[in-house]
Structure 1
Amino acid sequence: MTITVEFATTKEEIFKKGDEECQEIAEKLRKTGEVYIDPDFPPYETSIGVLKHKDTGEVQVQKSEPWLQPKEFIKPHYLREDCVDEWKVWDNPQPFHVKQGDLGNCGLMAALVAIAQKKGLIEQIVPKKDYTMDCGIVQVRLFVDGEWKVIKTDFLIPQKNGWERFSKMTKRQCWVAFIEKAFAKVKGSYGQLHSFCPTEAFTCLTGHPSKRNWINSETNCDTLWEDLVKYNSSGYLLAAATPKIKEASEEEKKYEEVDIDTDHAYAILGLKEHDDHRLLRLGHGNRMRFTGTWSHLHAYDNEFLEDLCPLDREMSNSRIFWMEIKDFRRLFLCYYVGEYQKESTVLEFKETFRRKQGDDMQILRLTNQKHCELEVGIKTFKNGKRYKHNLFLNIHKCFEDNQCGELLHSFNAYGSQLESDKVPFHPGVYLLIFVRVQYDPCMENEWTIWSSTALDKSQIQFISCPFSVHYRSVTEVILKYGEAEKIEQDQIVVYKWRGKYNCIFMIDNLQESEYVYVKCKITSGNEEELWTCLSFFNKCWHPVPPMSRSIVGVVASNKYEPITVTVDVQYSINYLYFKWINRFGAWIDRDHLENFTPLEFEN
C-alpha cells in the first residue's frame, strides 16, 4: 500500500510568488518602455472564442477589432456614464458599478455585484499595483481546481467602435473587466463564459464553498426569509436566478409586467423589514429595473446616498431595487450562497492511494482543544479524472486507540465532489471518514477545510485503519437514518436508506447457522438512467453469513436529478444450490467484493 498526503502551498505564499514574478517582468519592460502582452491569452479572435447572444443564445459571428488600453476607450461626457479622466483599477467600488456587456455571463456579473460590497475581498482578488498602471501587467487571484492561482494577463480589453465589448469600465474603473478577462483566460475564451454559474464564481473568487437552493410554489416564505436572514447575517454572498421561460407565453408576461429578466441572475444585497413587509434588495448589471410593489423605495438610505456623487445616485436607482419576499418566491427559481467569511482559515491537502486488496485505509483524526466550526469539501479522482461515485463524509466521536465511536454527522453526494455543512466541534477527538462506496485501487482525494477561526488549538492528522472501519461507518448511516423492517419468522432485518440521488439496501441476518441469499430488483423507474451494483446485477444472489450484517445493493441516478425508483428486496434461506453457486461466484469476483464483506453483527 502507498499513501501520500501533500499539503497545499498557502495562498499567501502563492500571492507573494505571483507578485514577485510580475515585478520581475515589470523591471524589464520599464527599461524598454514597452507594455506587457500576455502570450498565453493574446488580444486576438482566438481569445474571444465563439460568442452566443446573451438573450437568445444564438451564435454570433463578428470580426474582432484591435483591443485597447483602458485609457484609449471613448469617454465623452454626454455619451458615457462617467466623466472621470484617469482610469483606475478600482476606487471605492460599488455594486451599481458592475455593468454587463455583450456576453451572456450574468451569473458572473451577479457574483461581482455581490462582492462589490466587500472592499477587502476586491483588494485581494485584483490588487492595485504600480506595474498595472505603467506596464499593463494585471494579476487576478482565483481559486481554480481546488487551489489558489495568480492569473496574469495584460490590460488590453476587447472593444467595438471604441467602446468596451464586454463588461463596462464604469467611472473608468477596470476591476470588473480585469476579473472577467481572467475568467476568460481560465476557461479558454470569452465565449466560454456564457451561462456562467454564480456558485462557481463565488468559489473561484473567495476560495470558500458555495451552494444552490431551489425555490418553488411549495417553498414556505417564512422559512425562506429565515434562511436568507441567517446567510446575510453571517456575511455570506448571495445571488438568485429567474427561470428560463418560453417566449411569448403567459408565464413570460408575468415577468414582462414587472420588468424582470427571465433566465437571469441577480445579486441579493440586503434584507430589511419595512411597514411589516419583508424586503430584499436586489441588483444586477443591466438597466432594466423591477417595477413591481416596493420598487418605488430608494435602493439605499439617505445617509448613504448623500455621500454619493450624482452619477452614482442615478446608477444606484437604475440597477438596485427592493422586492417583497412573496414576489421573490414567485419570480425566482433558486438562490446561491457563497459561504465567504472575512476572517477565516483554509487548509488544503491532497491524499493519494495506491492500495491492494486487504491493505489498510486511512482516516482523518481531528483533536480539538477549543470549540471551532468547520466546513469540509472533498473532490475525488480516479487516475486523474473525475467520476461519479457514492460519497459519504461521516463524522464520529473517537475513542481510545482510535476506535470509531458515535456517528455525529453524515453528508452524502453522488458525483465527484462532496461538501459538508458548517459543523460545530467541541473540545475532544473526532474521526472524519470519507468513503467512496465503489472500490478503486487508485484514489486521489483533494481536501479543503474552512474555519471561521484560527486552528492553532486543533491538530489534524491521517491515521491508518482496517477497511472494515470505513464499511462500518456507512452501515452506521443506514442504521441511524434508514428505515428498518424486521421479518420475525425468518430472523432478518431489511434496511433501506434513501439519499437525494441514491439508495442503499442492507440486511441483518440474525440466524445462528443459516445463510441468507439476497437479490434486489427494480420494479419501477427508468433503469437506463440508473447505476446499480451488488445484487442488482450479479448472476449470483448476494450471500449474508449467519449473525452478520451486509450491504446488499446500491442504486443511484446517472443524472444530477433526484432518484425516483422502487426496489423489491428478495431473499432465500438455506438452499444448498445457493451455497455452492455463491461460493464459486464470490471466488471469481473476489477483487470486487471487499467493499461488501459481511461484518460481525453486534447485539
Structure 2
Amino acid sequence: MVRQVMITRDVCPEGAYQVRLCHDGRWQTILIDDLLPCDRYRRLVYSQAAHRQLWVPFIEKAVAKMYGCYESLVAGRAVEGLSILTGAPCDTLELEMDGREPLDEDLVWAQLLSSRMAGFLMGASCGGGANNTITDRAYQAVGLRPRHAYSIMDVQAVPSVAGGKGSGHRLVRLRNPWGRFSWRGDWSDESSLWTPALRSQLQPNGATDGVFWMCFGDVCKYFDSIDICKVRQNWHECRIEGKFPATGALTDDLTVILVTVTEPTEVELCLYQSGHRSSAHDSHSHHKLDLFVAVFGFNGLVGRLVCESKRQVKSFVSCHEILEPGVYAVVTISFNHWHNGVSDCPPYLLAIHSSKIMLTERVSPPRYIIADCLIGLALARGRKHECSEGITAYYLTKHWSGLVVMVENRHPTTYAQVICNCMDSVNVVSTRSTLKTADSIPPLHRQIVIVLTHLEGTGGMIIHYQLTHRATHQRSLNDWGNNGVMSGLEGSRDSEHIPVLDNSVRELHSPRPL
C-alpha cells in the first residue's frame, strides 16, 4: 500500500515528492517539498515513524496540503484515513446502538471473521460515540484511551479450557498506534486466563507494548465502532462524477448510471460527497449532505430493489451485492440541501468496484425516477400499516436518517385524503418546506407524502409523525383547506395538495399510478 501511495520512493535532490491519495473518492497526485514542521529541538512536530522513516510525515503533509493545512486534520476516524490511502470501499460496523434494537453480536463477530479471512484492513474507534456513557477515567483505568483509534490485527475463536460443544472464547488483537498504553482487563498480557498453550499460539513472541488481546464482549463494551477497508486484488473500478439537483425539479444534473452485467459479479458501490473537511470557503464546506445510493432492476422503468446503502449524513455511504446478468439502474439521492439555502447543485462521486468487468453508461432518467425509487424502497423496506380498507401507509425509518411516508390508494373510484403531521419532529428538514401536509390521492395511485431528513448530523434527531386519513368521492380537500385544519399553509379548499406541489417538488410528490 505504501508503494502505491508514495510515487516518489527514492531521495530526491530537489526535495520534491509525489504522493497519490484518494480525496473524496477522487484519485489525486499531490506534490510536496521536503520541509517538515519541527520544534526548537529539531524534532518533528506532528507524525513520526520508527527509525526516522520519512514516508509517514510526507503522507501527512500531502493530506494537510490536500485539505488546506495541518489544522484541518484534527480529529477523525480510522475509516477516513483508510479510504484516503487505499481508495477501496469501506464499511463501518456500529457497536453503539440507540436503544431501539439490541446489538447483534453474533452478526458482528461473523463479519469480523469473514473480513479477517479476506485480508481486509480493520480499525476500531474507542469512546467517541454519541451514546457513550463510559467516563474518561473509566477508560484510563483499563488502559484504553478515549476518542482514540486502534488497529485490529487479528480475530480468533479459540476453545475454552473446559471444552464442550459451543464453548470457546472470541478474542480480538488490537494495537495502539502510539506503541504504548495497553489493555489491563481480561486477556491482557498479565491476565490469568492465558494457558501456556494459548499463550504459545497467540503470543509466540511474547507481549509487545501497545499490542494486546481483548475478548469480543469487552470490545463491544468499550468501543463504539469497527471500520473495515475492503482492499482486494485484481478488482476493477469506475469513478463517475455527478451533481445532486438543487431541488426536486428534473434538471440536466439529475442522472442515472445504467450498469450492464454479463456474468455473476460481486460489486461494491461507494457514494462520496465533496468538501466535508475542506477549509475552502465554498457553499458546501460547512453543510454535510445526506447520502443514499440504491440499485434497481431496469427495463426502461425502475424495477425491483436489488440493494441499497443506509441513508446517512456522512462523508460517504456504501452498499454491496452480487449481481446476476442483466441491466441495473444505480440511483443517487440527497435531500437535506433542498430547502436549506444551498442554491447550486452539490457535487458527488460514485465509485463502482467490481470483481468482473461491467459496462456503465450515464443516461437521462425517466421523469419520475426519484419518486418511483422511493416508492419501491418503501414497498420493500418500509413498515406497512393498513389505515382502512383500500388505503395503506408505508413508513420508512430504519437506516434512513429521517422518514419517508408513502400512501397507497387501491380504491377504484374514491380518493384517499391524508394529513401527515410531523410538527413535533426536531432537527429535520422536509422536502415540502413544512412539517404538516395534506394530500388528495386519486384512485389506484400511490404518493410520496413527505420526506424528512436529518438536518445536522452532529446533533440529535427526533421523528414524530401522525397520519389522519379519509376516503371520499371529492377530489379537492374541501374542509381541510385554507379555513380548515390546514389553515395558514399555501393552498385552498379547491386544492388537491397543501402546500401546493410547485415545480421544485412536483416530480417527487405527485401521485403515481399503481
TM-score normalised by the chain length of structure 2: 0.78
Residue equivalent to 1:368: 261
Q: CA deviation at 1:555?
A: 2.1
Alignment equivalent of 1:517, drawn from 403, 417, 421: 417
Residue equivalent to 1:460: 360
Q: Which runs of 5+ in 2 are unaligned?
A: 161-168, 276-281, 482-491
CA contact (8 A) 2:256 2:362 kept: yes
In the alignment, is residue 334 of structure 1 matched against residue 214 of structure 2? no
Residue equivalent to 2:321: 423
Paired letter, 1:432: V
CA distance in 2, matches of 1:168, 1:359: 49
In the alignment, is residue 393 of structure 1 matched against residue 293 of structure 2? yes
1:493-540 residue CA offsets vs partner (Å, 9 max, x unmatched): 222221331111122223444433322113654x3x2222439546x7
1:78-114 residue CA offsets vs partner (Å, 9 max, x unmatched): xxxxxxxxxxxxxxxxxxxxxxxxxxxxxxxxxxxxx
Q: CA deviation at 1:261?
A: 1.9
CA distance in 1, matches of 2:75, 2:259: 39
Where 1:323 maps in the other structure, the secondary structure is: strand
Specify whether residues 205 and 467 from structure 1 end up closer, same or farther in structure 2 by C-alpha distance, changes over 3 A only.
Answer: same
- After TM superposition, the structure 1 stretch with the greater mean CA deviation from structure 2, 139-148 or 236-245, is 236-245
Alignment equivalent of 1:279, drawn from 152, 171, 194: 171
Q: CA deviation at 1:125?
A: 0.9
Residue equivalent to 2:45: 165
Residue equivalent to 2:91: 211
Residue equivalent to 1:82: none
1:13-33 residue CA offsets vs partner (Å, 9 max, x unmatched): xxxxxxxxxxxxxxxxxxxxx
1:408-467 residue CA offsets vs partner (Å, 9 max, x unmatched): 223341447652322111222222233445897964553333425341xx2111233422
Paired letter, 1:478: A
1:177-218 residue CA offsets vs partner (Å, 9 max, x unmatched): 211222222233333322132121111111123233222495
CA contact (8 A) 1:343 1:452 kept: no
Where 2:171 maps in the other structure, the secondary structure is: strand
Q: Which runs of 5+ in 1 are unaligned?
A: 1-120, 307-312
Specify whether residues 303 and 129 from structure 1 end up closer, same or farther in structure 2 by C-alpha distance, changes over 3 A only.
Answer: farther
1:107-152 residue CA offsets vs partner (Å, 9 max, x unmatched): xxxxxxxxxxxxxx1111124534x343322222111133111122
1:367-407 residue CA offsets vs partner (Å, 9 max, x unmatched): 111221111122468997375666543322233xx233222
Residue equivalent to 2:397: 498
CA distance in 1, matches of 2:265, 2:440: 44
Q: CA deviation at 1:238?
A: 1.0
In the alignment, is residue 255 of structure 1 matched against residue 139 of structure 2? yes
Q: CA deviation at 1:346?
A: 1.9
CA contact (8 A) 1:215 1:332 kept: yes
Q: How many residue pairs are counted as aligned between the two chains?
A: 461
Residue equivalent to 1:39: none
Residue equivalent to 1:155: 34
Paired letter, 2:77: C
CA contact (8 A) 1:521 1:536 kept: no
CA distance in 2, matches of 1:281, 1:194: 26
**Which structure would you say has the larger Rg?**
1
Where 2:80 maps in the other structure, the secondary structure is: helix
Specify whether residues 305 and 181 from structure 1 end up closer, same or farther in structure 2 by C-alpha distance, changes over 3 A only.
Answer: farther
CA distance in 2, matches of 1:192, 1:359: 34
CA contact (8 A) 1:506 1:551 kept: yes
In the alignment, is residue 592 of structure 1 matched against residue 480 of structure 2? no
CA contact (8 A) 2:249 2:505 kept: no
* 1:112-511 equivalent positions in 2, closer than 5 A: 121-130=1-10, 132-160=11-39, 161-216=41-96, 218-243=102-127, 251-276=135-160, 277-286=169-178, 287-296=180-189, 317-352=208-243, 362-379=255-272, 385=284, 391-399=291-299, 402-415=300-313, 419-436=317-334, 443=345, 445-455=347-357, 458-488=358-388, 491-500=390-399, 501-511=401-411
Where 1:322 maps in the other structure, the secondary structure is: strand
CA distance in 1, matches of 2:329, 2:406: 23
The RMSD of aligned alpha carbons is: 3.7
Where 1:135 maps in the other structure, the secondary structure is: coil
Paired letter, 1:497: L
* 1:45-60 equivalent positions in 2, closer than 5 A: none
* 1:60-99 equivalent positions in 2, closer than 5 A: none
CA distance in 2, matches of 1:521, 1:505: 11
Where 1:196 maps in the other structure, the secondary structure is: coil
1:274-322 residue CA offsets vs partner (Å, 9 max, x unmatched): 4533222211232223333333389x9989999xxxxxx89x8223222
Identical residues among aligned pairs (%): 21
